[in-house]
Amino acid sequence: MGRQGTQALKTLLSVQGLRIRLPTAAGLVTVVDGIDYEVEAGQVFGIAGESGSGKTISVLALLGLLPDGAHVEGRAMFDGRDLLQLNRRSMRDVRGVEIAMVFQDPMTSLHPMMTIERQLTEHVRYHLGVSESKARERAVELLREVRIPDPAGALAAYPHQFSGGMRQRIAIAIALACRPRVLIADEPTTALDVTVQAGILHLLDSLRSQSGLSVLMITHDLGVMSSIADWLTVMYAGRVVESGRTGDVLGHPRHPYTAGLLAALPHPEAAEDTALRSIPGAPPSPQSRPDGCPFHPRCPYVQDSCRRDVPALASIDAGRRLACPIDPLAVAV
Amino acid sequence: MSLLELRDVEVEYRRAGRAPVRAVAGASLAVEAGQVVGLVGETGCGKSTLARAAVGLQATTAGSVWFEGRRLLPLRRRARSRRDARLQMVFQNPFSSLNPRRRVGQQIADAMGILGLVPAGRRSARVAELLDQVGLPAIAAQRFPHQYSGGQRQRIAIARALAAEPSVIVLDEPLSSLDASAQAQVANLLKGLARELHVGLLLISHDLAIVRHIADVVAVMYLGLVVETAPTRRLWRSPMHPYTEALIEAIPRADGSGWLPEALPGEVPDPAQPPAGCRFHPRCPYAFDRCRTESPPLIDVAQGRGVACWLHSPGAEEKSPSVFATRTRAASAVGDQVDGV
């Protein structure tokens, strides 16, 4: 496994104070409310959270893929440039080239009526200006890299001729075609069966360790995070509630939300017949987020101050940050 | 006799100009009162087809379905008999299974009127009672489905099924569209309902980990066949079929250990052209000659346990293949076969 490599780690992408407001019928609604994180080269950086927590919107902003009328504040520094300030033209040279993306559902992210060859070579020829035969060679190489059997034969096929897992491998191959430095993967295994999911996780893990690719992984599945992410950020209602090394965050969750989410999961090694402990209530919608800490209505440790003050994300340990001043789960040493 | 019983059910989908697909190739299952039976398998294994056959939404090609001691006939144009209405179904997606334009209370009360279970004057009280049973406030009756989250909508769909006073409910992936915390809430609710109301539940799911917390008995399906059945605890402790073992090994663990789950090599084959012999043999790490030619029957190995695998014989000890069998190839050999090209 390629964790904690020996080479000096370099910050590749640094997001600071990202705040996103989207237009709705009721006016602008704050969907992402000031988040910070840093992605280092050759690492898998995970953003976890339930539906509506703002995790997907926060990465779409990096690629300039937000709907018209969206208000974005903050900075996203990548290679000396602020991604949030790029104009359309410069963004086109980043998106799909230096930062590529893989989506949840390979059924809809691949074009059903184009051959795999066309989908794998079109952008390579445009961005890298290579010849048709060179692009084709590269396509075969990519399919081999993502372990598609018979890569040359696969080029002439259409997406429907592949299973879900194979389609997701092809989507990853397309994303990798221009040799990006960052791959954003939004729930890349959620639509897949567990045995197929495990194959994709192995693939992402080897891409990271062999080619030094950074992966920004978004998923609600903490099991998937545990197996592949080096760093983990947990989002709730548009804010980061906790972040740190994955082993630390999942091994010793400090935020009551992270702890609650872990307790709600079926754990393969838990005693049988243990009822799953669910978090009472449901996450708030962006239109009706509560005052103070967004988690306070569901938090078992709530105090008066939680209803009033929005907790800041503070450093508590090396690389570990927590947005809960009460810190009820701190381990007494 | 069990409340709901499927005997050697086969379902074949005919396709114009192409070979028919035998989605279910002979599966047997039984659900008792108050029991939760989990039916687990991956995409394309035929579990949803079997669920639809179990409630009569899909005609069987062979075999039979028995409900409360009588043969259940597939649903046709005519209304289903009142007795058969005691067999209810809950669907995967509560966003499409509820009518967006009718109030929650009206939708729940429908069954009471149609089946004549509750006089009109008492229906709203009964609706409130059902909502309470699934953990929603009585005021929900006045609202519309869009005012609720996915987990709450799934509770409404369950309340609607309960309104028909069923003895068995078939649930097709009721948890898979929900977030983790909502999933836990609905899972606990289902388990509670089976215990308190003595309703039998047939729970279809691709997620063995969640099924383990709810089901008393689990049946594992692969490519149209049930390959293993066992009480949940014993299945989890010592999965006897190599496929069950692979399914358990593939579940990621949210413990922060960095352990990468095992991938099962290969792909689920096309059900229109299943492999000869054991249907799992091309992906099985323990396959030997007999597996390539002869299909193993589902045999009773121990009390309450059945497995369809040549590694086991009747009365065999409850042991997982990894404990006693030799792998005839590395676990990930097939998946990585192009590595060496």
User: How many structural domains is chain B composed of?
Assistant: 2
* DSSP character at residue A258: H
Kindly report, residue by residue over B42-100, the tens digit of the pLDDT: 888 999 999 999 999 999 999 999 999 999 998 888 878 888 999 999 998 888 999 99
Whole-Å CA distances, B178 to A195, B145, B151, B188: 21, 15, 6, 14
B228 found inside a domain: no
Nearest to A257 by CA among A275, A226, A233: A233
Chain B residues with beta carbon closer than 8 angstroms to that of A196? 42, 263-264
The parent domain of residue B290 ranges over: 237-340
A94 CA: distance to closest CA in chain B (Å) = 30
Cβ-Cβ contacts under 8 Å between A and B: the total is 163
Of B261, B267, B268, the CB nearest to A227: B261
B64 plus B196 within the same structural domain: yes
Kindly report, residue by residue over B157-204, the tens digit of the pLDDT: 999 999 999 999 999 999 988 888 889 999 999 999 999 999 999 999
Instruction: Find out if CATH 3.90.180.10 is the number for domain A11-98+178-322.
Output: no
- Token pair 């097709």 is found at B172
Q: CA–CA separation, A37 vs A43, rounded Å?
A: 13
Q: Does the distance separating the beta carbons of A225 and B254 come in below 8 Å?
A: yes
Q: Does the distance separating the beta carbons of A279 and B251 come in below 8 Å?
A: no
B202 plus B332 within the same structural domain: no
Contact indicator for B303, B317 with CB cutoff of 8 Å = no
Coil, strand or helix at B290: helix
- pLDDT band at residue B270 using 50, 70 and 90 as cut-offs: confident
B258 plus B209 within the same structural domain: no
Last residue of a domain, one of B222, B256, B284: B222
Q: Does the distance separating the beta carbons of A202 and B263 come in below 8 Å?
A: yes
What proportion of chain B, given as a percentage, has pLDDT over 70? Answer: 96
Q: What are the helix and strand counts (H, E) for chain A? A: 12, 12
* Other Cβ atoms closer than 10 A to A212: 14
Which residue pairs, CB below 8 angstroms and at least 24 apart, start in B303-307? B304/B217, B304/B230, B304/B231, B304/B234, B305/B228, B305/B229, B305/B230, B305/B231, B305/B234, B305/B235, B305/B240, B306/B226, B306/B228, B306/B229, B306/B230, B307/B227, B307/B228, B307/B229, B307/B230, B307/B240, B307/B241
- pLDDT band at residue B234 using 50, 70 and 90 as cut-offs: very high
Kindly report, residue by residue over A202-224, the tens digit of the pLDDT: 999 999 888 889 999 999 999 99
- Token pair 């992984």 is found at A217
Chain B residues with beta carbon closer than 8 angstroms to that of A194? 42, 206-208, 247, 250-252, 261
Query: B146 CB near a chain A CB, below 8 Å?
Result: no
Chain A residues with beta carbon closer than 8 angstroms to that of B268? 163
Q: Pick the residue of B181, B186, B268 with the most A CBs within 10 A to test the interface with A by mutation.
A: B181
B191 plus B274 within the same structural domain: no
- Kindly list the domain boundaries of chain A, sorted by start residue: 11-98+178-322
Q: CA–CA separation, A75 vs A210, rounded Å?
A: 30
Asked whether residue B288 carries a pLDDT value surpassing 70, the answer given is yes
B206 plus B83 within the same structural domain: yes
B152 plus B276 within the same structural domain: no
Cα dihedral across residues B232, B234, B238, B240: positive or negative: negative
B129 found inside a domain: yes
Last residue of a domain, one of B172, B192, B222: B222
Chain B residues with beta carbon closer than 8 angstroms to that of A164? 43
Q: CA–CA separation, A167 vs A155, rounded Å?
A: 12
B139 plus B287 within the same structural domain: no
Query: Phi-psi bin for A216: left (phi > 0), alpha (psi -120 to 50), beta?
Result: beta
B200 plus B245 within the same structural domain: no
- Give pLDDT tens digits along chain A (333 positions): 444 444 456 899 999 999 999 998 888 999 999 999 999 999 999 999 988 899 999 999 999 999 999 999 999 999 889 999 999 999 999 999 999 999 988 888 899 999 999 999 998 898 888 999 999 999 999 999 898 988 999 999 999 998 888 999 999 999 999 999 999 999 999 888 898 899 999 999 999 888 889 999 999 999 999 999 999 999 999 999 999 999 999 999 999 999 999 988 887 666 666 778 888 888 888 888 999 999 999 999 999 999 999 999 999 988 899 999 999 988 744
Q: CA–CA separation, B160 vs A127, rounded Å?
A: 55
**Chain A residue with Cα closest to B251:** A194
Alpha helices in B10-122 (DSSP H): 47-54, 94-97, 104-114
Chain B residues with beta carbon closer than 8 angstroms to that of A150? 338
